[in-house]
Amino acid sequence: MRKFLITLVAFSLLFVPIQSFAKEEALSLDAKAAILVDASSGKVLFQKDADKPLPIASITKVMTLNLIFDAVESGKLTLNEKITVSETAAGMGGSQAFIDAGYDYSAEDLIKSIIIASANDSAVAMAERLCGSEETFVSKMNQKAKELGMDNTNFENCTGLPEANHLSTASDVAKMSIELLKHKGYFKYSTIWMDELKHEKDGRSTELVNTNRLIRSLQGCDGLKTGSTSEAKFCVTTTAKRGDMRLISVVLGGSTSKLRFEDASKLINYGFANFENKVVVQANQVLDKEIPVKKGKDKSAQICAKEGFSVCVENSGDEKLETRLELAEFVEAPAKRGLGVGKMTVLLNGEEIGQIELVLAKDCEKASFFDRLKTIIAFWK
């Protein structure tokens, strides 16, 4: 009987889905809180206490970098601009680039040292340059957080150094991480493993080593940010792209540096193993449906999607993806290519997840007198 039971158990294990092991492994995390999201849609693929407010240490600098790149892209800051470092900035503790008070550094060098080495002194120098003081800059950080729907976040500084009520959540960190990835200039520095910062004062150099070791060990990883303090423990927000899908994982409150990276890797690998990117429609893709044209040379016109849309779904095939079209009754000629004529609503498991504007695929010419005459003759034949 004992041999029979052992054989029966072993046989039954053959029918346990492989995917269930992957899910169970992903659920076993050391971190106090974690989340895995699809970067393009923000869809949550896994979460553990994702809305629990916790200290996030230097992950704070994700928001600092968002404001910096906002300034670069709006023309308020140039990368080659020289920035004079204040005594306050140079005196910051924690992770540093050891910049010298009273000396100039390029904005690019300061940005690079923030991204690679998590330099607190460079972060404060940039905050003072953009807003005059760190305090004013922090108010802008909190304003941006509200705009992004980060309802459980409050920043007290731009570095992540411990302060009471300086808190965020895994869910909110994911939101500001998604925002940072929209700044393509970020990726110029995020995968640099080692670099150096030269100092004008005495000609010395500070070696910059990337704090995110996952860029060398995790397939497709090209960012984002680490953080650690005695209060926050070990944290990391990570992004990786494989094929046409990009994921973001956030790990807060890891008990050791090694375990935070293991948790982040586990989440990212789980995501790519169990989900896939489905393209609903591509930008400028012509649809089968046409729209009637009044007073036009042609009786109908082709329509296309103004923008592309894709969604992350379980690769088991269990999720139901569908689209619904809403078009204007007609369009009156003449009408230009790109004119809005309706929308496509995308639903996943019956819930709306997005809308795409539908537009004319080409110009609609107005019918001439001879065009109308041809139509009349054709009708009477």
Q: Tokens 């537009």 map to which residue?
A: 359
Task: Say what the pTM is.
Answer: 0.83
Q: Quick one: pLDDT at residue 370?
A: 66
Residues facing 344 on adjacent strands: 325, 356
Q: Are strands 331-332 and 286-294 parallel, antiparallel or unpaired?
A: parallel
Q: Using N-to-C axis directions, what is the helix angle for 120-131 and 134-147, rounded to 10°?
A: 90
* Sign, Cα dihedral of 283, 286, 292, 296: positive
Q: Rounded to whole angstroms, how far apart are CA atoms 192 and 34?
A: 26
Q: Quick one: pLDDT at residue 4?
A: 39
Q: Rounded to whole angstroms, how far apart are CA atoms 349 and 165?
A: 39
3-state secondary structure 149-208: CCCCCECCCCCCCCCCCCEECHHHHHHHHHHHCCCHHHHHHHCCCEEEEECCCCCCEEEE
pLDDT (tens, 9 = 90+) of the chain, 381 residues, equals 333 333 333 333 333 333 333 454 446 999 999 999 999 889 999 999 999 999 999 999 999 999 999 999 999 999 999 999 999 999 999 999 999 999 999 999 999 999 999 999 999 999 999 999 999 999 999 999 999 999 999 999 999 999 999 999 999 999 999 999 999 999 999 999 999 999 999 999 999 999 999 999 999 999 999 999 999 999 999 999 999 999 999 999 999 999 999 999 999 999 999 999 988 999 999 999 999 999 988 999 999 999 998 888 998 888 888 999 999 999 999 999 999 999 999 998 898 988 999 999 999 998 886 666 566 666 665
Q: Are 253 and 235 in contact (CB under 8 A)?
A: yes
Domain covering 19-191+206-275: architecture? 3-Layer(aba) Sandwich (3.40)
What are the start-end ranges of the H helices in the chain? 2-13, 18-27, 61-74, 87-90, 107-117, 120-131, 134-147, 170-180, 187-190, 214-217, 257-274, 369-380
For the chain, give every residue range classified as CATH 3.40.710.10.
19-191+206-275
For the chain, give every residue range classified as CATH 2.60.410.10.
282-369
Catalytically annotated residues: 58, 61, 118
Q: Hey, what CATH class is 282-369 in?
A: mainly beta
